[in-house]
Chains A and B, each alone.
Chain A
Amino acid sequence: MTAKDWIVPLAILAAAVVLAPLPLVAGSYWMALLVNVLMYAVLATAWALFSGPTHYVSLATAAFFGLGAYTMAFLGEKLPLALVYPVAALIGAVIATIVGLSTLRLSGVYFVIFTFGLAELVRQVVTWAEAKYGGTVGRFVFIDVTQQGIYWMLLGMLVLVLLTGFLVQRSRLGWALKAIGEDETVARHAGIDTTVSKVAVFVISATFMTVVGAIMAPRWTYIDPSIAFNPIISFQVLIMALLGGAARLYGPILGVVPLAILFEILQANFPNSFSILLGLAFLVIVYFVPSGIVGLIDQGRDVLGRAGRRRAHPAE
């Protein structure tokens, strides 16, 4: 790596260092908001890791997130806490490998529906199993993790997912994914092992989502399948990543910050019409910002660049 290559990782670390002391000054309302923003930042970045370059729209975020939350709920009091997170990551990775390998034949709309169905299937099975063997549908999570602790862990995950994304983008794997996104058949003919590439990145992405679920579970103290596997999580992650723009590493974060704050305000002030406003926000983004904030920035840069060149060569 040359000196220039170190800029991105160093910038990520510097930003994390600046953000790390926030819990020491922020009140509990702001902490709740910050935790929310960070949670969606990790989820949306992880989502874009796979779905950004390949254009495979996944709605399975809630499935992995819920898996992580339930791992914490089941094992949180039986295992040392530090061990639960790696176990959750492992479970997420194993399930993601199975799902990834079995969905390879699907593309386009079938993949979207499959991932949506998967999240619903997991939710139904967990609900049934809890009612049958657990006696109740819900479950308490009494694990002593403070709000600050959750914040720092999420911040660490954000750094990790950004660094991972940075490394993936620079690697042969990153190029392979881009080629798959452009044209999968061509990519295969060019000698790319599309199976391995897709599954590898799908697993990385899903593992992050699972760990985020495990980190977030103690915050709720009570979880049930409709909270942990809430499809709204998948939708919000998708719409945030879309607003920001999934083509760049930092894109999803640009979408997460305004939307997480907007949803917070909407939910606090208009709880009854939240779903309508969420839907309208979704429609506005799909119709008016199809390539995201990142796309707008690029357009702006193009316009400025052209204007600059015109000024430099008035004769043209």
Chain B
Amino acid sequence: MFLVDVILSGLILGGIYALIAMGLSLQYGVARIMNLAYGEFTIAASFLAYVMFTVAGVSPILALAVAMPASFALNWAIYRVLMTPLVKRAKSPGALEVDSILATFGLLFVVQGILLMIFGGSYVSYSYLAVPVQIIGSTVALNRLLAAGLAVAIALALTLFLMRTRIGTAIRAVSVNPAAAPLVGIDTTAYAAFAFGLGGALVAASGVLVSMFFTFNAAMGVVFTMKALIVVIMGGVGNIFGALIAGLILGLAESLTAAFLDGGLTLAVNFALFLAILLIRPTGLFGKAAR
């Protein structure tokens, strides 16, 4: 049953990758901000959950209720204060992309520096729901299963929200054509800020869930940013369902590499897969022709 083990752990990992990537997909797909500090916010949320669990004994599930609104507000403010001037001064979408990359680069170092100052560079982890569970003859840790399950649930809820509600429809309109959306009475800036904040809430959720079973340190944010980027570009920018599939593919690729090639190569395979997709299908697996 070795293969089942590998595939199952790959799928669980993939579900979590998908969750990590969804926030970025919203931030880049709707607000048009390529947030390179994204992974730092994941780690920040992980540390928040870690502190709440070890100091106050608060369960990570409850930590979600604190981390998600806080991160929503923070990211909304970041868009309003830091990104709006860039949006206003940008002469073309290309110029905004470059400017936002540069600005969030700066942000990356600031957030990482703050985390390093508070927590130092050492690895931390805590034990929550680390109980083995049997599924089709293979053993999985309950915390991983829970995280993957929540990831899928959040993805479905988000898809429903975007597809079925008025706000969701407006967000999609801004994503499709930010120039035409105001013509039908949509306040583009407000919705972009909302989407950016919503992306922030998702990144906090992923950070908290990841912290349940993952050993992390303050300098690891960039790994999450890269994984999120890989998944977003693979799944198609702004495509939540695409992100879910792409996340699963990435998780499978990683666990297969670790099982059949070499554990030390998983990150390299990550990047190789990413570079290959950029080169062959820059618009993603489900993307339409280039914009």
Chain A residues with a Cβ under 8 A of chain B: 55, 57, 102-103, 105-110, 112-114, 116-118, 120-121, 124-125, 127-128, 131-132, 231, 235, 238, 242, 272-283, 286-287, 290
A231 to B116, CA, bound (A): 17
Q: Which residues of A contact B222 (CB under 8 A)?
A: 120, 231
Q: Please tell me if the beta carbons of A280 and B110 are within 8 angstroms of each other in the complex.
A: yes
Q: With A121-B271, A124-B268, A287-B85 in contact, is A279–B278 under 8 Å at CB?
A: no
0/1 interface trace, chain B 94-128, chain A, CB 8 Å (1 if under): 10011101110111111111101100000000000
Q: Which residues of A contact B183 (CB under 8 A)?
A: none
Q: Please tell me if the beta carbons of B103 and A117 are within 8 angstroms of each other in the complex.
A: no
Does any Cβ of A come within 8 Å of B267's Cβ? Answer: yes
A131 to B263, CA, bound (A): 12
Does any Cβ of A come within 8 Å of B275's Cβ? Answer: yes
Q: Which residues of A contact B98 (CB under 8 A)?
A: 55, 57, 108-109, 112
How far apart are B154's CB and chain A's nearest CB, in angstroms? 25
How far apart are A95's CB and chain B's nearest CB, in angstroms? 14
How far apart are B156's CB and chain A's nearest CB, in angstroms? 28
The A contact surface, by secondary structure, is helix
For A109, give its contact among B101, B107, B279 (CB under 8 Å): B101
Does any Cβ of A come within 8 Å of B34's Cβ? Answer: yes
Q: Please tell me if the beta carbons of B268 and A121 are within 8 angstroms of each other in the complex.
A: yes
Q: With A128-B262, A272-B117 in contact, is A121–B109 under 8 Å at CB?
A: no
A44 to B108, CA, bound (A): 21
Q: Please tell me if the beta carbons of B113 and A275 are within 8 angstroms of each other in the complex.
A: yes
Does any Cβ of A come within 8 Å of B133's Cβ? Answer: no
Q: With A105-B279, A113-B229, A272-B116 in contact, is A128–B103 under 8 Å at CB?
A: no
Q: Please tell me if the beta carbons of A283 and B103 are within 8 angstroms of each other in the complex.
A: yes
Does any Cβ of A come within 8 Å of B57's Cβ? Answer: no
Does any Cβ of A come within 8 Å of B274's Cβ? Answer: yes
Does any Cβ of A come within 8 Å of B69's Cβ? Answer: no
8 A–B pairs (Cβ distance < 8 Å), ordered by A: A108-B97, A109-B98, A113-B34, A121-B271, A124-B265, A272-B116, A279-B112, A287-B85
Q: With A109-B97, A112-B101, A132-B264 in contact, is A124–B278 under 8 Å at CB?
A: no
Q: Which residues of A contact B111 (CB under 8 A)?
A: 279
A24 to B76, CA, bound (A): 56
Q: Please tell me if the beta carbons of B264 and A110 are within 8 angstroms of each other in the complex.
A: no
Apart from A121-B272, A273-B113, list 20 A-B contacts with CB within 8 A.
A57-B101, A102-B279, A105-B282, A109-B34, A109-B98, A112-B34, A112-B101, A114-B275, A114-B278, A117-B278, A124-B267, A124-B271, A128-B262, A272-B117, A279-B105, A279-B106, A280-B110, A282-B103, A283-B106, A287-B85
Q: Please tell me if the beta carbons of B278 and A286 are within 8 angstroms of each other in the complex.
A: no
The B contact surface, by secondary structure, is helix
Does any Cβ of A come within 8 Å of B256's Cβ? Answer: no
Determine the residue in chain A with the shortest Cβ distance to B265.
A128
Q: Which residues of B contact A276 (CB under 8 A)?
A: 109-110, 113-114, 117
Does any Cβ of A come within 8 Å of B77's Cβ? Answer: no
Q: Please tell me if the beta carbons of A106 and B278 are within 8 angstroms of each other in the complex.
A: yes
A93 to B22, CA, bound (A): 38
0/1 interface trace, chain B 144-182, chain A, CB 8 Å (1 if under): 000000000000000000000000000000000000000
Q: Which residues of A contact B106 (CB under 8 A)?
A: 279-283, 286
Q: Please tell me if the beta carbons of B271 and A120 are within 8 angstroms of each other in the complex.
A: yes
Q: Please tell me if the beta carbons of A273 and B117 are within 8 angstroms of each other in the complex.
A: yes
Does any Cβ of A come within 8 Å of B259's Cβ? Answer: no
A275 to B115, CA, bound (A): 10
Q: Which residues of B contact A238 (CB under 8 A)?
A: 102
Q: Please tell me if the beta carbons of B267 and A118 are within 8 angstroms of each other in the complex.
A: no
Does any Cβ of A come within 8 Å of B226's Cβ? Answer: yes
Q: Which residues of A contact B233 (CB under 8 A)?
A: 110, 113
Q: Please tell me if the beta carbons of B226 and A286 are within 8 angstroms of each other in the complex.
A: no
Q: Please tell me if the beta carbons of B117 and A279 are within 8 angstroms of each other in the complex.
A: no
How far apart are B118's CB and chain A's nearest CB, in angstroms? 11
A276 to B105, CA, bound (A): 11
Determine the residue in chain B with the shortest Cβ distance to A57.
B98
Q: Which residues of B contact A282 (CB under 8 A)?
A: 102-103, 105-106, 109
0/1 interface trace, chain B 52-89, chain A, CB 8 Å (1 if under): 00000000000000000000000000000010010001
A143 to B106, CA, bound (A): 36
A137 to B142, CA, bound (A): 35
A229 to B250, CA, bound (A): 25
How far apart are B99's CB and chain A's nearest CB, in angstroms? 7
A63 to B110, CA, bound (A): 24
Q: Which residues of B contact A235 (CB under 8 A)?
A: 105, 109
Q: With A55-B98, A275-B112 in contact, is A117–B107 under 8 Å at CB?
A: no
